[in-house]
Chain A
Amino acid sequence: MTTAQEHGGDVRLTGISKTYGSFTAVHPLDLTVPQGSFFALLGASGCGKTTTLRMIAGLEEPSSGTVRLGEQDVTALPPYKRPVNTVFQSYALFPHLDIFENVAFGLRRRGIKSVKKQVGEMLDLVQLGEQARKKPHQLSGGQQQRVAVARALINHPKVLLLDEPLGALDLKLRRQMQLELKRIQTEVGITFVHVTHDQEEAMTMADTVAVMNGGRVEQQGAPADLYENPGTTFVANFLGTSNFIEAEVAEVSGEDVFLKAGGGKLTLPKARCTASVSAGGTVLVGVRPEKISLTHADDAGAIPDGRNRITGRIADSSFIGVSTQYVVDSPVCDAFEVYAQNIERDTRLAPGAEVVLHWNPAHTFGLDADQDVEAGVEKVEEDA
């Protein structure tokens, strides 16, 4: 049984939206962030994720809808009256105050006189005890980031909002801080709402990820669930890589949907198809590159029955240590991507080789064919 007590700290957005003149940054959306969870808002720049975050913080006034923290409606409250703190993108540390005073700022504003012990403990938590009397510009990017986290956390907010907090750090430091933030979140048990455009970051850290696109939440769920069962091509492409085949529905029988694509036949579990299917209709069949096995055409007979198969020719292969990534041209889809673990390498699998791609039908997902196959793909450039 869930009681009001247990859900006392949920963040609940109801019908919240934001428009600037004729531009709609956030379409009316409902979102519940359970207390104590690590929640990520994931999307490309301009998708409305930061605006949503700023509406929770009170830095942006919603055009409609309400923001609730637990039982309290905070929609009309200014930011300085909300029990919420933010870690800003590029940190926004006060340049005229030293690290100690930066961290003590929130406590002092609430009229707490003896801050020394608390600030000292917080600085130790983020391993910056030695730097207390330095100015922000004297610290490295990673240290500044930790000051920003300490400055927010010391106030024990009900919710900590993080706006692309790791965006300015290099890759190695970012990995380190991801684990660090996750550790801190587990330790203090505060609800974290994290905005990022980095799908790996979101999946590494968050319990729940909401993928946003064009001011709307496209899909929400646990990272593994989103990855395995994307509901739209945008989600499928934004979270990792997906291959799509446009297929015709031949027959729907029991738990399975039987499809025709090119000359071949494919099977799709009905439970994994978000589109409504009926014989004669079309559906987008998706499969992740790492689920696919690659067999040379000469050994095609050795492939077990019951697997989905497609024939093609290797267009390109790149060896990247743990795996080899192949690009395969096939009649049903050009540039099929396949990631093969480098366990036993078949030297015949070189560009130009005729191959059979095959995978367990259970790893197939089906989407409504009436959408852009390329949606969400551009994220690759942004990752660099």
Chain B
Amino acid sequence: MAVLSAFFRWLRRNLVVIAGLVTLAYLLLPNVVVTVFSFNKPKGRFNYSWQEFSLDAWKDPCGVADMCGSLSLSLQIAFWATLGATALGTMIAFALVRYRFRARGAVNSLIFLPMAMPEVVMAASLLTLFLNMGAQLGFWTVLIAHIMFCLSFVVTAVKARVMSMDPRLEQAAQDLYAGPVQTFLRVTLPIAAPGIAAGALLAFALSFDDFIITNFNAGSTVTFPMFVWGSAQRGTPVQINVIGTAMFLIAVLLVVAGMLVGMRRKKKSL
């Protein structure tokens, strides 16, 4: 009896932690599966049941025909889409927060429409648009489409940051002999940077794994998500899991590095 009540007391005290851990496990379980199955040695073409441990796929990540080509294409598209969407989105965010102009409210709402539109509908409409314009489907149509749908997310992320910025900081910079360019580089940009970085990361992630819009508008070009989808019909190479795990690890390393830098900076300034 006493043991039971002690247990309940412990449970009550740690409930939040337990709930947090369970949620985290729920969130990360798919990643664990991806990682575990990257070490599998499947019998046959499908990597769906565990057979035996093997490093074969890790030793030869590009061993599957065309996969690394599609991966490289996806990375290129993601890079340029991130660059384009971040540059445009940052400027739009500043315009929306800092300047009063006609139809500002309307623009503010219109920016969010692409996020609300069902992706598959937008994908089909984009295809119609490109075909009517006589555009050659491929790298450029995919890039244009990606910049378009990443834009809304970048604007949202940067706007939140710019809204919390005190315009007096820029006035102070000007008062202290910084011209417009210097003010932007030394004050505006560094303070807005976290928001811009968040927007850029979001854009990269969205572009890299977009399938629906890309599939409609890529023509004969094959990106990494399209490759995975296509190969899933015929069999799933273990290398797909290797790529997935590697991306996940890179992301984790970046986050840890960021945290370490932040901690060291805090320690130094104290």
- A51, chain B: closest CB distance, angstroms: 14
A80 with B191, Cβ < 8 A, contacts A88-B172, A133-B269 known = no
- Tell me, yes or no, whether B75 is within 8 Å of chain A by CB: no
- Tell me, yes or no, whether A155 is within 8 Å of chain B by CB: yes
- Tell me, yes or no, whether B176 is within 8 Å of chain A by CB: yes
Chain B 16-29, CB-CB to A under 8 Å as 1, else 0, gives 00000000000000
- A77→B125 CA distance, assembly (Å): 52
Residues B269 and A96 in contact, CB atoms below 8 Å apart: no
Contacts of A80 in B (CB 8 A): 174-179, 183
Residues B178 and A133 in contact, CB atoms below 8 Å apart: no
- Tell me, yes or no, whether A151 is within 8 Å of chain B by CB: yes
Size class of the B contact interface (CB-based, 8 Å): 20 to 34
CB contact between A92 and one of B168, B178, B270 (< 8 Å): that residue: B168
Beta-carbon contacts under 8 Å, A88-102 to B: 88, 90, 92-96, 98
Beta-carbon contacts under 8 Å, A42-85 to B: 57-59, 78-81, 84-85
Residues A155 and B269 in contact, CB atoms below 8 Å apart: no
- B167, chain A: closest CB distance, angstroms: 9
Contacts of A152 in B (CB 8 A): 175-176
CB contact between A105 and one of B168, B171, B176 (< 8 Å): that residue: B176
- Tell me, yes or no, whether B187 is within 8 Å of chain A by CB: yes
Residues B175 and A86 in contact, CB atoms below 8 Å apart: yes
- A220→B268 CA distance, assembly (Å): 50
- Tell me, yes or no, whether A134 is within 8 Å of chain B by CB: yes
- A219→B262 CA distance, assembly (Å): 54
Which of B168, B172, B182 gathers most chain A CB within 10 Å?
B172
Contacts of A142 in B (CB 8 A): none
- A95→B173 CA distance, assembly (Å): 12
Beta-carbon contacts under 8 Å, A111-164 to B: 133-135, 138, 151-152, 155
- A154, chain B: closest CB distance, angstroms: 9
Q: Name the residue of chain A whose CB is nearest to the CB of B170.
A: A92
Residues A86 and B172 in contact, CB atoms below 8 Å apart: yes
- A95→B269 CA distance, assembly (Å): 13
Size class of the A contact interface (CB-based, 8 Å): 20 to 34
- A96, chain B: closest CB distance, angstroms: 5
CB contact between B269 and one of A86, A92, A106, A134 (< 8 Å): that residue: A134
Contacts of B166 in A (CB 8 A): 90, 92
A88 with B168, Cβ < 8 A, contacts A109-B182, A133-B268, A135-B269 known = yes
Residues A94 and B169 in contact, CB atoms below 8 Å apart: yes
Counted as pairs of residues, one from A and one from B, with CB atoms less than 8 Å apart, the total is 70
- B151, chain A: closest CB distance, angstroms: 26
- B182, chain A: closest CB distance, angstroms: 6
Contacts of B244 in A (CB 8 A): none
Residues B177 and A98 in contact, CB atoms below 8 Å apart: no
Which of A80, A84, A90 gathers most chain B CB within 10 Å?
A80
A96 with B176, Cβ < 8 A, contacts A79-B171, A134-B269 known = no
Beta-carbon contacts under 8 Å, B245-270 to A: 268-270
Residues A59 and B191 in contact, CB atoms below 8 Å apart: no
CB contact between A110 and one of B175, B177, B269 (< 8 Å): that residue: B177
A155 with B191, Cβ < 8 A, contacts A90-B168, A133-B268 known = no
Residues B175 and A96 in contact, CB atoms below 8 Å apart: no
Q: Name the residue of chain B whose CB is nearest to the CB of A109.
A: B177
Chain B 220-259, CB-CB to A under 8 Å as 1, else 0, gives 0000000000000000000000000000000000000000
A85 with B191, Cβ < 8 A, contacts A92-B166, A109-B182 known = no
Residues A92 and B177 in contact, CB atoms below 8 Å apart: no
Chain B 120-147, CB-CB to A under 8 Å as 1, else 0, gives 0000000000000000000000000000
- A151→B171 CA distance, assembly (Å): 14
- A93→B270 CA distance, assembly (Å): 18
Residues B172 and A94 in contact, CB atoms below 8 Å apart: yes
CB contact between B176 and one of A98, A135, A151 (< 8 Å): that residue: A151
CB contact between B174 and one of A79, A96, A138, A151 (< 8 Å): that residue: A79
Q: Name the residue of chain A whose CB is nearest to the CB of B178.
A: A109
Q: Name the residue of chain B whose CB is nearest to the CB of A54.
A: B171
Contacts of A151 in B (CB 8 A): 176
Residues A94 and B187 in contact, CB atoms below 8 Å apart: yes
Contacts of A79 in B (CB 8 A): 171, 174-175
Residues of A at under 8 Å CB distance from B?
57-59, 78-81, 84-86, 88, 90, 92-96, 98, 105-106, 109-110, 133-135, 138, 151-152, 155
21 A-B contact pairs sorted by A residue (CB < 8 Å): A58-B175, A59-B171, A78-B174, A79-B175, A80-B176, A85-B176, A86-B175, A88-B171, A90-B166, A90-B168, A92-B169, A93-B172, A95-B191, A96-B190, A105-B186, A109-B178, A109-B182, A110-B177, A152-B176, A155-B176, A155-B177
Give 5 nearest A-B pairs by CB, closest first. Answer: A106-B176, A92-B172, A109-B177, A92-B168, A79-B174
Residues of B at under 8 Å CB distance from A?
166, 168-169, 171-179, 182-183, 186-187, 190-191, 268-270
